[in-house]
Amino acid sequence: MNRNKFLSVVGLSFLGTFFFSSKEKNELIVRNACNDPITPSVPEGPFYKNEELNRADIRESKKGIAIDYIFLVEDKNCQPIQNAIVDIWQCDANGHYSDFKAENTINKTWLRGYQRTDKNGACRFTAIFPGWYDNRITHLHAKFYINGKDILTTNFFFPKNIENEVYKSPLYPKGPNPLPILQDYELRVDKDTTRHDTLLMNVSKSSNGSLTASYKIALA
């Protein structure tokens, strides 16, 4: 699916060429039929749990700057994939994950959930902008399943100017995340920021201050 059609499908045509600008700046060897870079993987990390929570709003009681995540899932021929499972999880504004003893959050399920993509390959979540913790830049985790098979595990990242603005809010008491990209625990093996830049979400801000972050997943 081309850029303009996707924007029309998810109701974000006003974003225009901004929507995919972060991907188009990268030169990756592996690309799909539309010349989009295949979405790279990032390891799962220690805080994944398959809670089987089929829901669009994953906030529960958590406070933070509201953000909607919109994903489009396509195959290597740029065709939308219907009924793909998009499973996401993230930390809260203080950098903690739900349902882990080490985090003192056993039996909590906030900021976790999955959705199935529609006939256009799209799905949408409502969350809060994630906080951060030591040794990681600010990120969102995601897994993608097709026909029950785990196809991709990765992270998504955010523009630094958006991060810095969000972290001025008193809802984020730790303030800005100071970690450089290539000192990130998962990205430090990279020789440059190409993988990070390819996984950078495109974020817009509404008049009421809420955010929308969008990303097209290109599967191999």
Average pLDDT for 130-158: 97
Tokens representing 178? 């100071």
The pLDDT tens digits for 150-208 are 999 999 999 999 999 999 999 999 999 999 999 999 999 999 999 999 999 999 998 88
User: What span, in angstroms and rounded, lies between the C-alpha atoms of 55 and 94?
Assistant: 23
Instruction: Give the model confidence (pLDDT) of 50-79 as tens digits.
Output: 999 999 999 999 999 999 999 999 999 999
**Spacing of C-alpha 144 from chain mean position:** 12
pLDDT for position 72: 98
Q: Would you identify the CATH topology of the domain 3-218?
A: Protocatechuate 3,4-Dioxygenase, subunit A (2.60.130)
Asked whether residue 3 carries a pLDDT value surpassing 80, the answer given is: no
Share of the chain above pLDDT 70, in %: 87
98-112 pLDDT, tens digit per residue, is: 999 999 999 999 999
User: What would the DSSP string read from start to end of 154-198?
Assistant: EEEB--HHHHHHHTTSTT-TT-S----GGGSTTTTT-SSSHHHHH
What Å distances lie between residue 30 and 39, 40, 65, 220, CA to CA?
Answer: 9, 10, 35, 9
**pLDDT exceeds 90 at position 88:** yes
Maximum C-alpha span of the chain: 46
Average pLDDT over residues 83-91: 98
Kindly report the backbone phi and psi dihedral angles of residue 85, in degrees, each rounded to the nearest multiple of 5, phi listed first.
-90, 125
Q: What is the pLDDT of residues 12-40, one digit of tens each?
A: 544 443 334 344 443 444 899 999 999 99
Find the mean pLDDT for residues 83-89: 98
Confidence of residue 9 (pLDDT cuts 50, 70, 90): low
